[in-house]
Chains A and B, each alone.
Chain A
Amino acid sequence: MMSRPMSSNPRSGPRHERKNRKAYQFPQASSQVSIIVTILLLTITSLSCVDLTQITQFAKSSQDVGNTFKALSSDTAAVCGSAATFFPPGQAPLNCDRYVQLQPALAKVNDVLFAYIASLGKIACIAPPKDAFTNVGAELKQADASISQADQNNAKAAGGLADALSKIILSGYQRHELARMIHESNSSVQAVVSFLSGYAAAQSELLLNNTWTLEEEYCNSNRNQLGAAEPLAAKLLAQKCDDDKARINTKVAAVEQYQKALATIAATHDILDKKRNSLTKKELLHDIGPQTSSLSAAALAMQKALQ
């Protein structure tokens, strides 16, 4: 058994020993506080670690789809105008003014949807301020060189705690507002998407299909009349008809990509609504990651088709 070593200090009576022990205990308590604050800080930081990047990425990819609609929509009046050339003589052509009149209203509905999606992305990507209070320890040392390391550590930990708390409060508000917004707007998003896909895009698709029907009829009719008498003219006409068919098919494919992208947006928003109270990084990556990739691919396909 080890004996307690005797103090060599001549002033080490019981009174002084008590005093020394007290003086020694203070930094020990400080470091305990420091450790507790650090553990608390780590816990809070891990709790507030909500990564909403996937929502921002989803919003970003959606914007490309929304922007492409403008090109698609402005092309409609031109397609209508080209259809007029294939109407038989004496037949009134399509009323293309109606497309020109409808275009601003359709563009506005499209813009409203994508502005909403963009605002979701903006709220999701806000980052709380960094290091507002973290440097307090270093600043104290700068101001008072005699400050003890323990006090400096405490100040640093308290500063970090203040930072973490402000982050969690902001993050909580951010998540709460996102969840509320998603839930309150889900039915409107579904209705607007249904309109854009089922009416605005469907009208473009119908017009493209009708235009091809008229052109094909024109091609058949003229081919029959040209017959074998003018083989070169018949060949040139057939070539033009084939080229136009390919061009129209490409535009129809672009409209279908837009509809597909809208369906993805509606489905993703619905998933976000269902999981609005548990928007964790893992779930978002799993649920929204593939949709975001699909949106990007659709936007790219639309852009290529409309070039």
Chain B
Amino acid sequence: MGLNAQDLKNIASALSALARALADWGNTHPITDPTQQAQFDDFVSSLVQASDSLMNAAVTAALANVAVSAADLQNATDRARHTLKVINDVTTALKIAGAAVALGTSLLSPAPSTVSGALNGLVQAVQPASPAPTGS
């Protein structure tokens, strides 16, 4: 049975903790023999090397596992964009309806300034609903 992401991470953490403990020991127990010191350094760095490789393997395995959840969140975000568009469309429609009512009532009035003011209101309300001109 193979190791899963959590197992790999646990071993990586254990090796890192062991390397740390050895470095702490070396800090309080100075080694005077250069050969012994080199062997000790090699041992610590080998533990770090192994810890790093296993953690990379753990992250790679976990990344594959989380792909489905990440895709779900991406879909949720896409749907949210659609929801935002619907709400914005409804908001624009309400603004147009309000402006249309204003225009309708102003048409009862003989004053041209009132009509032109209401017409401008309608044009302004319709503008956000119109598609933006595409590039050249």
Contacts and interface: CB of A to CB of B under 8 A. Distances in A.
Interface string B45-70: 11011011101101110110110011
B98 to A, nearest CB: 3
A132 B94 contact: yes
A167 to B, nearest CB: 9
Secondary structure dominating the interface of B: helix
Q: Shortest 7 CB-CB distances between A and B: which pairs?
A: A132-B98, A119-B80, A191-B69, A143-B108, A188-B69, A143-B109, A195-B66
B101 to A, nearest CB: 6
A210 B16 contact: yes
A16 B105 CA distance: 35
B8 to A, nearest CB: 10
Interface of A: 83, 86-88, 90-92, 94-95, 98-99, 102, 105-106, 108-109, 112-113, 115-116, 119-120, 122-123, 126, 128-129, 131-133, 135-136, 139-140, 142-144, 159, 166, 170, 173-174, 177, 181, 184-185, 187-189, 191-192, 195, 198-200, 202-203, 206-207, 209-210, 213-214, 216-218, 220-221, 223-225
A206 B49 CA distance: 12
Contacts of B46: 91
A143 B30 CA distance: 98
Given A181-B76, A188-B69, A191-B66, 10 more contacts: A90-B42, A91-B42, A92-B49, A123-B87, A128-B94, A142-B109, A185-B76, A192-B70, A199-B62, A213-B16
A91 B55 contact: no
23 contacts: A83-B48, A86-B45, A91-B46, A94-B48, A95-B52, A109-B63, A116-B77, A122-B80, A139-B102, A140-B105, A142-B105, A143-B105, A143-B108, A159-B101, A181-B76, A185-B72, A192-B73, A203-B55, A206-B13, A206-B16, A213-B20, A220-B23, A221-B37
B53 to A, nearest CB: 7
Contacts of B66: 109, 191-192, 195
A98 B73 CA distance: 26
Contact of A210 (B52, B62, B84, B105): B52
Contact of B44 (A181, A189, A200, A214): A214
A230 to B, nearest CB: 15
B16 A185 contact: no
A119 B91 contact: no
A149 to B, nearest CB: 16
Secondary structure dominating the interface of A: helix
A189 B72 CA distance: 9
A188 B76 contact: yes
Nearest to B57: A98
A88 B69 contact: no
B112 interface: no
Given A116-B77, A122-B80, A143 B48 contact: no
Contacts of A92: 49
B77 A105 contact: no
Contacts of A142: 105-106, 109, 111, 114
Contacts of B127: none
Contacts of A126: 84, 87-88, 91
